[in-house]
Amino acid sequence: MKDPYLPLNQTQRVRFEAALRKLQVLTPTTVGHYTLDQNGKVAATLCGVVEWVNKLVYVRNLRARYKPQVCDIIVGRVIKIAPDNWRLAINSEQDAVLKVSSMNLPDGTQRRRTADDELNMRSIFEENDVVCAEVCVKNDRSPPELQPMGQKYGKLERGQLLMVPSYLVKRQKQHCYHLGQYRIDLILGRNGFIWIGEHAAVGENAKLMGTEPENFTPLEMRNHICRLANAIRVLSALGFTLTAELIIETAEASLLSNVAVDDMVGAEFFVQTAEREAMRRVDLVRKENGSI
């Protein structure tokens, strides 16, 4: 858990430090990268930022970037269109490549791509488009190659793209979620790019075929998107591992506390979130020990 360096008043500072101490006591330390155990104390061997992920403490290099792995679900932004592929920025040392040969054709047929397909690449993705894809090829001699996530997730529209440290998004069984109560899609990219946007119905081909859907997003849905986005900003600033369950719980807690969307990034809600996470871990430890 990190100190978010907010302008806390004295009461908020006392509450926040109490929650921080409770979380540290409840989280046994396991030394990670660039740390060592010296007489029962953890010492850093690298100049960087101390990070906590559950029980693991490690030092993050100030210039650390995302390292792609095969089968990672990522979110990227198109930055260049080459003759037969798109180049995507994915928060890594190298840009990723999405080949036109891996894209689904409008009619769903399987055939070799032609020169006409390459000429029509801009009808699928243009510069600055946000895309959800999967890493399919990774080696040290060439940029990582991507493949699309089918017709349900491709070009992402009508939403927000958030960027958080990639170590906060751990590999999970599922990275793409449909939040039915909000009618919103949540995609946790392993590269630290997170998408929150209007739900794309199964079989909706507009995102891949280049046709323009209706661009209007209802005000209520925009409020839901902003509330979930601010929940992610708060959790990221506190250094908590991001999961769909924790994001939803934080957003719903703001509703129960009558916290406005803009006030979620204020000092009071940060302190409340830290205290709530400390209590959740206390209850978890009690359940594990059979004390309740």
Q: What does the pLDDT look like over 8-26, one tens digit per residue?
A: 888 888 888 888 777 766 6
Give residue 135's pLDDT.
Answer: 92
Largest Cα span, the chain: 68
Give the number of other Cβ atoms within 10 Å of residue 197's Cβ: 19
Which two structure tokens, joined as six digits, stand for 291? 């004390």
Which residue, chain included where needed, has tokens 């953890």? 42
Give residue 132's pLDDT.
Answer: 92
| CA atoms lying within 13 Å on the CB side of residue 265 | 11
SS (H, E, C) the chain: CCCCCCCCCHHHHHHHHHHHHHHHHHCCCEECCCEEEECCEEEECCCCEEEEECCEEEEECCCCCECCCCCCEEEEEEEEECCCEEEEECCECCCEEEEHHHCCCCCCCCCCCCHHHHHCHHHCCCCCCEEEEEEEEEECCEEEEEEEECCCECEECCEEEEECCHHHCCCCCCCEEEECCCCEEEEECCCCEEEEEECCCCCCCHHHHCCCCCCCCCHHHHHHHHHHHHHHHHHHHHCCCCCHHHHHHHHHHHHHCCCCCHHHHCHHHHHHHHHHHHHHHHHHHHHHHCCC
Q: What's the chain's length in residues?
A: 292
User: Is 81 exposed, middle or buried (CB count within 10 Å of its CB: 0-12, 13-18, 19+)?
Assistant: middle
Q: In tens digits, what is the pLDDT along the chain, a chain of 292 residues?
A: 555 567 788 888 888 888 877 776 666 567 777 788 887 778 888 877 677 666 677 887 756 788 898 989 999 999 999 888 899 999 998 899 998 888 766 555 555 666 777 777 888 888 999 999 999 988 877 889 998 876 656 788 889 999 998 888 988 889 999 998 889 999 999 999 999 999 876 555 444 444 455 567 888 999 999 999 999 999 999 888 899 999 999 999 999 999 999 999 988 999 999 998 888 888 887 787 775 4
Q: Give how far Cα 65 sits from Cα of 35, 69, 134, 190, Å.
A: 19, 13, 18, 12
Measure the CA–CA gap between 17 and 23, rounded to whole angstroms: 10
Give residue 75's pLDDT.
Answer: 94
Rg of the chain over CA atoms, in angstroms?
A: 21
- Give the pLDDT confidence of 29-83 residue by residue, as tens digits: 677 777 888 877 788 888 776 776 666 778 877 567 888 989 899 999 999 998 8
State how far Cα 204 lies from the chain centre: 24
Residue of 1, 2, 12 whose CA lies nearest to 266: 12
Give residue 210's pLDDT.
Answer: 45
Q: Give how far Cα 177 sits from Cα of 34, 37, 186, 256, Å.
A: 34, 40, 5, 23
pTM of the model: 0.79
Measure the CA–CA gap between 184 and 225, rounded to whole angstroms: 7
Give residue 155's pLDDT.
Answer: 84
